[in-house]
Amino acid sequence: MGNLTDFFTAASSSGVLEQISGICDGRTVTTSHGTYTLPNVSAQQTLSTSHTRVTGSNIDYTPPTGTTHVRYEFDYKRNYKDLYQLYHFGFHIDGTEATIFRHSTYDYADGNNRAIFTERYTAVINIEGSSDDIANGKLASWTSDKTLELKGRVYSTSYETYLHGLVYWDGNNASGVTLERPRLTITAIA
């Protein structure tokens, strides 16, 4: 994929040092601080009862010098496989869960009225200069790539959830699923 400078926000008076944002289709984003490749999501994902990577949620990232906070945002589509929907997300920094950012969602589809939702997951990592406290989203320093990702699971097989699928598109029925890729945004703040 090509260089997408239109997805880069330069330093500004708002304190944003860098912003990487794009659709998770394998595109490359180049900023003055580095080149990043967003994941390529090519299919709907069904969450299972095991904690697995949420497709499209991972990036290897190093913030620019002077960063005090990194905001991670993941926009995704979810819809029902089962009538009840109960799933959990955990945010991981280099393989360790930042438990302060745990998230659960519960919904019930009323009969055949199965809704489709666009959701945003957000985590803010503090770079404080004291000591690492990953469970609480704090790092002493950040000078090399760290893998940021979501891991998700459903409560049980009776509460399964689809991610990244758009149904009922263009007058189609629920059996026709169109891929809607997630979007990932990383913002480094001074």
> Which pLDDT value is given to residue 165?
84
Q: What pTM was computed for the model?
A: 0.86
State how far the Cα of 131 lies from the Cα of 135, in Å rounded to an integer.
Answer: 12
Domains of the chain: residue spans and CATH: 5-189 (2.60.120.1340)
The residues near 167 (Cβ < 8 Å, ≥ 6 apart) are 79, 114, 116, 173, 174, 176, 177, 178
Secondary structure of the chain in HEC code, one letter for each residue? CCECHHHEECCCCCCEEEEEEEECECCEEEECCEEEECCECCCCEECCCCCEECCCCCEEECCCCCCCEEEEEEEEEEEECCCEEEEEEEEEECCEECHHHCEEEEEECECCECCEEEEEEEEEEEECCCCCEHHHCEECCCCCCEEEEEEEEECCCCCCEEECEEECHHHCCCCCEEECCCEEEEEEEC
**pLDDT per residue as tens, the chain (190 positions):** 333 333 333 334 459 999 999 999 999 999 988 899 999 999 999 999 999 999 999 999 999 999 999 999 999 998 777 667 789 999 999 999 999 999 998 877 665 555 677 899 999 999 987 899 999 999 999 999 999 999 999 998 887 888 998 776 776 666 667 889 999 999 999 9
Q: Give 171-176 contacts, CB < 8 A, sequence gap 24+.
A: 174/114
Amino acid at 169: W
Tokens of residue 86, six digits? 């109960």
Q: Are 17 and 71 in contact (CB under 8 A)?
A: no
